[in-house]
Structure 1
């Protein structure tokens, strides 16, 4: 995949017209030559890291696989997107053959392979989300996995909303976490820069005709009792996220224009510790 995501005619991205799209497979979305909020976060780390990520996609971790399964069970339960791995003795010839046949079938059908334990946990997490009254109300009406494509200052942009509510002007992002408490999620926002994601998606909704949307996180814990909490970032946080998005976009555009994707600064940099570390 090319690292360059500049719009050629400002009307489409890889044949998909700018605007809102339903039903685009996730793998197709990933290949679309447009910049996402995750891509801009990588640009913040260094353009070199961004280019490496799109040219050499990594295999999902166990935590990411669990999150994907929770999304599928909660948001797209009618789609066959996963399969439970059989329990076979791969030390035997028959077991190896059965496993190879299973893997080949799952790969051919593009299914996520999960264990029985992962399925049991994901189902419990799904049930916890649906049992939360405000989460259930937001997910009662709307569309899952909505792709938004737009152009910003000559650059093709993309975003994929977990859920676009029908009865509320809300975009929902479903996240799994070790700690869904207010303090725990506040740390996660800072660590994973969720305020950049929220700002990017709010811009996406505005640019693609979905209007002014609130961005709400539904957070479910991955361990029992699978606590669930809902959060909305304040104006200060969204403004800060927007500033960082624009700064990363400027850096990205410069890399496209120059063809240079630098890593970390080459000079010696001073390091100052945070007060708590002294």
Structure 2
């Protein structure tokens, strides 16, 4: 449990996500969940607010992405965190792989993550792709990995937290690693919108300012494709995207503060919500029935004619 605002280098990933603040705090992932899903889902998944919160199931592609992250940024600790299964391992063939199954179970009991041999080869390939990229490789050199920050929000007073992938020892250009479907910059724009990366950008820049009193020179995403040949791009979101992130984060903070005060974490909406058909469906119906927007807006009982 941390007691004072500041930067910390000795907090494990598990302890950070368990929220070590004196009171429930808000992280970037929490802010994204609040505004992109709903406050009730945020509350339901938050162990500090809901003691009965379910344990989140680990998914294989998340394990691969996390392993690549750890292999690149925490290479000295990788072997203590992961167990690599033998090539061709098949848990169903219990007699043939009895020793491997026993070793796997022992490693998992010790808190390690077991990776299939093919997944480990992918992890190595992803890391090598980053190291082969001129700018991406430099972004992860001479850094403090996994530096955590904690502070009180100036406006609302509650605790906020942030965890930087790579804190540059000399400089103010920060990089965050993402394992994505497509590293093509035009495709990343949609992923940034769908996954809330624009909120993350704003959150990290604002947290850095709160924790240091300075401005980041730049925040970039190092994105690596999940399939061979593991193409890499280094992408910086434009200022309008970051400003939209700040607007979304401010809304999340407002909702979080209200939830802490009232104990009410609403679902998608407390009132009746009007919903129209998607634009593509309206065009399809106009073409099918030979009607236009003016016919619809005339408010005539067209279906009865």
Normalised to the residue count of structure 1, the TM-score between the two structures is 0.88
What's the C-alpha RMSD, in Å, of the aligned pairs?
Answer: 1.9
Asked if residue 167 in structure 1 is aligned to residue 170 in structure 2, the reply is yes
Distance 1:159 1:273, change over 3 A: farther
Cα shift at 1:271? 1.8
Look up the match of 2:94.
92
1:48 correspondence with 2:10:
no
Find the structure with the greater CA-based Rg: 2
Matches within 5 A, 1:37-186: 37-44=28-35, 45-54=37-46, 55-79=53-77, 80-86=80-86, 87=89, 89-92=91-94, 95=97, 99-108=101-110, 110-152=111-153, 153-186=156-189
Relative distance call for 1:137 and 1:93 in structure 2 (3 A) is closer
Deviations 1:131-179 (A, max 9, x none): 0000111112111111011110211001111111223212211000110
Q: When the two structures are aligned, how many residues end up with a matched partner?
A: 264
1:34: which partner in 2? 25
Contact 2:83 2:104 in 1 (8 A): no
Contact residue 136 and residue 234 of structure 2 kept, 8 A: yes
Task: State the alpha-carbon separation in 1 of the partners of residues 178 and 241 from structure 2.
Answer: 18
Q: Which residue of 2 aligns with 1:262?
A: 266
Alpha-carbon distance, 1:16 to partner: 4.2
Q: Which residue of 2 aligns with 1:3?
A: none
The partner residue of 2:195 within 192, 195, 217 is: 192
Rounded Cα–Cα distance in structure 1 between residues aligned with 2:101 and 2:3:
38
Q: 2-side partners of 1:16 and 1:78: how far apart? A: 29
2:250 counterpart SS class: helix
Deviations 1:111-150 (A, max 9, x none): 2211101100111110000100001111121111110111
Once residues 2 and 91 of structure 2 are traced to their aligned partners in structure 1, the CA distance between those partners, rounded to angstroms, is: 46
Q: CA deviation at 1:46?
A: 1.3
1:18 — aligned with what? 5
Task: Point out which structure has higher relative CO (alpha carbons under 8 A, 6+ apart).
Answer: 1
CA shift, 1:105, in A, is: 2.9
Contact 1:174-1:217 at 8 Å conserved across structures: yes
For structure 1, the 5+ residue unaligned runs are 1-13
